Structure 1
Amino acid sequence: MLNVDNLVKSFDSTGGGRKRATERKRVYAIGGASFDVQEGELFTLLGPSGCGKTTTLRSIAGLERPDSGRITLGDRVLFDAGKGVNVAANRRELGMVFQSYAIWPHMSVFKNVSFPLDVLPRNRRPKRQEISERVERVLQVTELSEYAARPATKLSGGQQQRLALARALVIQPDLMLLDEPLSNLDAKLRENMRFELKRLQRELGLTAIYVTHDQSEALVMSSRIAVMNGGNIEQIGKPRAVYTNPATKFVAEFIGTSNFVKGVVASVDGDEVAVDTVEGRLVSKCGEVPPPAVGADALLSLRPESIDVSLTQGPSTVNTWSGQVLTRAFMGDAVDHVVGVGKLEIRTRSNPTQSIEPGTRVHLSVDPTKVILVPVG
């Protein structure tokens, strides 16, 4: 449905002035991003601040003019640097929710939501009853029904953000662009809204691009995730695939928490790779990436929740360590232990009923299928 091809956007970091163009320093917010968004998909651009995700979204919306590249939506060309095409933002017919509220201060909550439908050309405008039904539905989803008659300026910050979301949802656009729309909500409402927004997106068959730096939000809501870093896309995939098989160290670090262990490949037998580390041999059997050659440097990623911690030694001798609990942290739904294993400090995550005092000797084990080989470099 949406195709973004080799999109590049740079800025003059020196501020221009009288300096010659050859002396000005260009900073690339987007360094050649390419991706497709399928119809009915919620596609998330995920990454830290400054990675280029919002600039990419604004380029799709027509609020930024890229240096080069091509953007198409269905059979419509929205931007093509080579052909000089740049459709104005108001003609792209996209729904967008900004981080700022951008609501109409002189209108009620109901009128703010109905406004995009009210101003449609007469031949495309729904009947008054349908407008009311659509507005009431999104107000209910965003928990604003009881405030329908209230002036928009009399809402709290979180309520105003939900109002902006409702206004974008009500028009049911071909493509909806969401720039961290839940950022101003309190923790519980934000969690509820993740599921409500995903449910509504599926029910209405909406196609959406969602920008966030919140990994949990991305994992819960996305059909697919594009992880961005320094203006480039490091990996695109379904949430589970990106989490369990990160393509780079950056992705492994940014999506969740990982213990990284360096080593040298000792042997390769099919999809089973043995790696010698500073604290003994670990075996990986994830089978998702081509194995490195014997003698090559290797980097292993161990997710905390994949490591079993026990007071007693198990029967297996593969991927086992002995160590001492250095510290622990109660997380509510889990307990994290940091265990000293020789020169390593290994973080584990277990059921909240298991809380082991610092100083206690413990045994760690991890299944070979949970030991992830991460590309070095």
Structure 2
Amino acid sequence: MLTVESLKKSYDETAGRKAGRHDDTRTYAVGGVDFEVHDGELFTLLGPSGCGKTTTLRSIAGLERPTSGRVTLGGRVLFDAAQGVNMRASRRGFGMVFQSYAIWPHMSVFKNVSFPLEVMPRAKRPGRKEIEERVGQVLDVTELGSYASRPATKLSGGQQQRLALARALVTHPELMLLDEPLSNLDAKLRETMRFELKRLQRELHLTAIYVTHDQSEALVMSSRIAVMNQGRIEQIGKPREIYTKPATRFVAEFIGTSNFLEGTVASVHGQEVQVDTEHGRLVAHEVDKAPAVGESVLVSIRPECVDLSRQPRGNVPNEWSGKVLTRAFMGDVVDHIVGVGKLEIRNRSNPNLSIPPGTEVHFSIAPDKVTLVPVD
């Protein structure tokens, strides 16, 4: 549906290319990104502050003019630097919801939603009856129907968020652009609204691009995720794939928590890869392309994949012993830090398992839970 090709954005346009030289001295906020957003999916741009995700979104929206690249929606060219095409934001027809909901305080809930229809060009503007029907439909979908006559300022934070969404939906946009719309909500309401937004997106078959720095939010809501770092995309994939098979160390560190060990590939037999580390040998099952013998790799192991016990199991791969250094009760889980020599391994367990510091323990990791990340 939406295609972004070689998109770059620099705010240092005065630098450009030096005369007689081929090197580009500009600093790029977005350094050349490529991705496609498919019909009916929620595609998330995820990354830390300053990684270029919001600049990418604003470039798609037409609120920023990219330095180079191409953006198309279906058969329409929205931006093409080579051809000199840059369609105005108002003509792109996107629905947009940003971190600030920009609710009009002097208007009722109904008028906030109807306003985008009322200011359309006369040739495209719906009649009064159609406006009432469309506003009523989106208010019902967002569960705001009973608040139609209420002043917008009298809504709760979650209701204001749904109002901003309803106002964007009423124009029947081909694409929704959502820039951290939940960041102003408290933690409990954010969690509720994640599922609410996902429900609406699925029920209405919305195609949306969602920008966030919140890993949990991205994992819960996304059809696919593009993890960004320093203006570039490190990995694109489904949430489970991004979490369980990170392509780079940055992705493994940014998405959740991981234990890291440096190692060298000792042998490869089919899908079984044996890796020698400073603290012992680990066996991994690499379904995709296996690394070569002698290659340096980074071993990534998620804390919940570390199976901790007081007694050795025996005859299981990747079983090591160590001592509990500290533990932390976190409500739904207990984290243990286990020392193996100078190495510290984090385990995340059911709260029924809580082992005091100083206890000798054994832990194992299933080979299919050992992820091998290429060394940069």
TM-score normalized with structure 2 length: 0.92
Distance, in Å, in 1 between the alignment partners of 2:156 and 2:294 is 60
Q: Residue 332 of structure 1 aligns with which residue?
A: 331
Q: Residue 87 of structure 2 aligns with which residue?
A: 87
Distance, in Å, in 1 between the alignment partners of 2:337 and 2:124 is 60
Q: CA deviation at 1:187?
A: 1.8
Contact 1:172 1:204 in 2 (8 A): no
Q: CA deviation at 1:27?
A: 2.0
Distance, in Å, in 2 between the alignment partners of 1:50 and 1:297 is 31
Q: Residue 212 of structure 2 aligns with which residue?
A: 212
Corresponding letter in the other structure for 2:176: M
Q: Residue 262 of structure 2 aligns with which residue?
A: 262
Q: Residue 27 of structure 2 aligns with which residue?
A: 27
Distance, in Å, in 2 between the alignment partners of 1:121 and 1:316 is 74
Distance, in Å, in 1 between the alignment partners of 2:190 and 2:136 is 21
TM-score normalized with structure 1 length: 0.92
Contact 1:194 1:217 in 2 (8 A): yes
Q: CA deviation at 1:144?
A: 4.2
Corresponding letter in the other structure for 1:333: D
Q: CA deviation at 1:145?
A: 4.5
1:58-105 deviation digits (Å, cap 9, x = unpaired): 000000000100000011100000010000111111111111122223
Distance, in Å, in 1 between the alignment partners of 2:309 and 2:302 is 17
Distance, in Å, in 2 between the alignment partners of 1:273 and 1:148 is 61
- Which blocks of at least 5 consecutive residues in structure 1 are unaligned? none
Q: Residue 308 of structure 1 aligns with which residue?
A: 307
Q: Residue 50 of structure 1 aligns with which residue?
A: 50
- What is the aligned-residue RMSD (CA, Å)? 2.3
Q: CA deviation at 1:165?
A: 2.2
Contact 1:286 1:370 in 2 (8 A): no
Q: CA deviation at 1:156?
A: 5.0
Q: Residue 353 of structure 1 aligns with which residue?
A: 352
Gap change, CA 1:272 and 1:201, over 3 Å in 2? same
Distance, in Å, in 1 between the alignment partners of 2:290 and 2:219 is 27
Distance, in Å, in 1 between the alignment partners of 2:276 and 2:209 is 42
1:166-192 deviation digits (Å, cap 9, x = unpaired): 211232310000001111112222112
**1:194 corresponds to 2:167:** no
Distance, in Å, in 2 between the alignment partners of 1:70 and 1:21 is 20
Helix, strand or coil for the counterpart of 2:27?
strand
Distance, in Å, in 1 between the alignment partners of 2:222 and 2:94 is 19
Contact 1:113 1:163 in 2 (8 A): yes
Contact 2:16 2:26 in 1 (8 A): no
Q: CA deviation at 1:255?
A: 1.0
Q: CA deviation at 1:142?
A: 4.6
Helix, strand or coil for the counterpart of 1:168?
helix
Gap change, CA 1:324 and 1:86, over 3 Å in 2? same
Counting only pairs closer than 5 Å after superposition, residues 130-169 of structure 1 correspond to structure 2 as 131-132=131-132, 134-139=134-139, 142=142, 144-169=144-169
1:26-60 deviation digits (Å, cap 9, x = unpaired): 32111110111111111110000000000000000
**1:173 corresponds to 2:173:** yes
Q: CA deviation at 1:309?
A: 0.5
Q: Residue 234 of structure 1 aligns with which residue?
A: 234
1:251-271 deviation digits (Å, cap 9, x = unpaired): 111111110011111111111
Q: CA deviation at 1:120?
A: 3.5
1:209-242 deviation digits (Å, cap 9, x = unpaired): 0000111111111111111000000111111111
Q: Residue 7 of structure 2 aligns with which residue?
A: 7
1:137-179 deviation digits (Å, cap 9, x = unpaired): 5445555455432322344555433322221123231000000
Helix, strand or coil for the counterpart of 2:320?
strand
Q: Which range is displaced more, 76-85 or 277-286?
A: 277-286
Q: Residue 98 of structure 1 aligns with which residue?
A: 98
Identity over the aligned pairs, expressed in percent?
73
Distance, in Å, in 2 between the alignment partners of 1:143 and 1:359 is 53
**1:272 corresponds to 2:272:** yes
Gap change, CA 1:125 and 1:226, over 3 Å in 2? same
Corresponding letter in the other structure for 1:243: Y
Contact 1:336 1:347 in 2 (8 A): yes
Contact 2:297 2:372 in 1 (8 A): yes
**1:60 corresponds to 2:26:** no
Distance, in Å, in 2 between the alignment partners of 1:332 and 1:130 is 50
